[in-house]
């Protein structure tokens, strides 16, 4: 049984400069299409956060001033990144700026997991204990797609290559409890054409899916590249695979 926090849960959502986002899709989508894709994915993530049945303080951090208006649409805080030294630096800056209570928890999630739902985050938060990290990996079990920790400084942000392994190792080295939760909707981040193909083939009630399937130029590109015709398919059932606590 996890410790049910009554104190604040801070959520950090880092967002790259829009022109630099989703560069691995540049052979398929134009810059403007990639910018719009990133915006729609962010809106899906923020929409989910708005519906979570916990007391959350959401901070969207970015060096791109345009993201401020999107955060404002959801009544979330926005931090203009000052360090400009990359993802981990931006996350650290947000934590240092907003989080004061060492008994609170910090949840870090990316802006490119549009399938995420409130029950996914509620499941993660319900696993939380004192001096613990709860980590949800990417599909290949190499990346970190959600990181919840208590205290807020439990481990430094180590996003990047092999971040799932690195976050776990750092937590173990500090004597923290580590819980791993594999959640399919959290695991699917859209970075590559393969990711986009998988997402495009699913029936999801998301801003991202509506953008991909209603923008005629984008839709035709995807159907041609992936050799599929967009149609409504049954959404994948939710299942939650939780690794053994350590």
Q: How far apart are CA 154 and CA 134, in angstroms?
A: 11
Q: What is the pLDDT of residue 233?
A: 43
Nearest C-alpha neighbor of 73 from the set 50, 103, 101: 50
Q: Where are the beta strands (DSSP E) in 21-109?
A: 56-62, 77-80, 105-108
Confirm whether 145 is domain-assigned: yes
Work out whether the CA dihedral 15, 122, 10, 58 comes out positive or negative.
Answer: positive
Alpha-carbon distance 143 to 223, whole Å? Answer: 28
Pull the structure tokens for residue 147: 């990181």
Q: What is the pLDDT of residues 214-230, one digit of tens each?
A: 999 999 999 999 887 66
Q: What is the DSSP letter of 83?
A: S
Residue 180 inside a domain? The answer is yes
What's the confidence (pLDDT) of residue 40? Answer: 98
> Is residue 99 domain-resident?
yes
pLDDT of residue 237: 44
The single-letter DSSP state of residue 234 is P
Q: What pLDDT, on the 0 to 100 scale, is given for residue 239?
A: 43
The CATH number for 180's domain is 3.90.550.10
Q: From first to last of the 246 residues of the chain, give the pLDDT tens digit.
A: 445 555 689 999 999 999 999 999 999 999 999 999 999 999 999 999 999 999 899 999 999 999 999 999 999 999 999 988 999 999 999 999 999 888 899 999 999 999 999 999 999 999 999 999 999 999 999 999 999 999 999 999 999 999 999 999 999 999 999 999 999 999 999 999 999 999 988 879 999 999 999 999 999 999 999 887 665 444 444 444 455 455
Q: Give a yes or no: residue 209 inside a domain.
A: no
Closest CA relative to residue 148, chosen from 197, 111, 109, 103: 109
Q: In what order do the strands lie in the sheet with 177-182?
A: 77-80, 56-62, 9-15, 105-108, 144-150, 132-137, 177-182, 241-242
Using CB atoms within 10 A of its CB, is residue 165 exposed (0-12), middle (13-18) or buried (19+)?
middle
Asked if residue 1 belongs to a domain, the reply is no
CA dist 162 to 60, 61, 68, 141, 157, Å? 24, 23, 30, 8, 12
User: How long is the chain?
Assistant: 246
By residue range, what is the domain housing residue 100? 9-190+234-242
222 located within any domain? no
Report the number of distinct structural domains present in the chain: 1
Would residue 210 count as lying in a domain?
no
- HSE-CB for 244 with a 13 A CA cutoff: 1
Q: What is the pLDDT of residues 23-77, one digit of tens each?
A: 999 999 999 999 999 999 999 999 999 999 998 999 999 999 999 999 999 999 9
Indicate whether 140 belongs to any domain: yes
State residue 201's pLDDT score: 86
């Amino acid at each position: 049984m996890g410790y049910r926090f009554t104190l604040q849960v801070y959520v950090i959502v880092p967002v790259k400069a829009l022109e630099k986002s989703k560069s691995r899709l540049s052979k398929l989508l134009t810059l403007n299409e990639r910018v719009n894709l990133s915006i729609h994915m962010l809106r899906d993530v923020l929409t989910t956060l708005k519906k979570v049945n916990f007391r959350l303080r959401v901070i969207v951090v970015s060096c791109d001033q345009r993201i401020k208006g999107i955060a404002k649409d959801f009544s979330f805080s926005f931090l203009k990144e000052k360090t400009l030294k990359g993802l981990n630096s931006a996350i650290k800056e947000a934590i240092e700026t907003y989080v004061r209570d060492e008994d609170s928890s910090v949840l870090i999630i990316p802006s490119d997991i549009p399938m995420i739902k409130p029950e996914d985050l509620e499941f993660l938060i319900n696993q939380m204990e004192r001096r613990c990290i709860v980590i949800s990996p990417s599909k290949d079990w190499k990346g970190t797609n959600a990181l919840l920790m208590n205290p807020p400084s439990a481990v430094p942000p180590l996003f990047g290559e092999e971040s799932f392994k690195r976050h776990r190792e750092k937590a173990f080295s500090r004597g923290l409890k580590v819980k791993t939760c594999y959640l399919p909707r959290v695991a699917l981040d859209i970075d590559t054409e393969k990711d986009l193909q998988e997402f495009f083939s699913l029936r999801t009630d998301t801003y991202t899916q509506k953008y991909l399937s209603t923008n005629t130029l984008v839709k035709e590109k995807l159907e041609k590249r992936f050799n599929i015709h967009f149609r409504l398919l049954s959404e994948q059932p939710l299942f939650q695979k939780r690794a053994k606590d350590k």
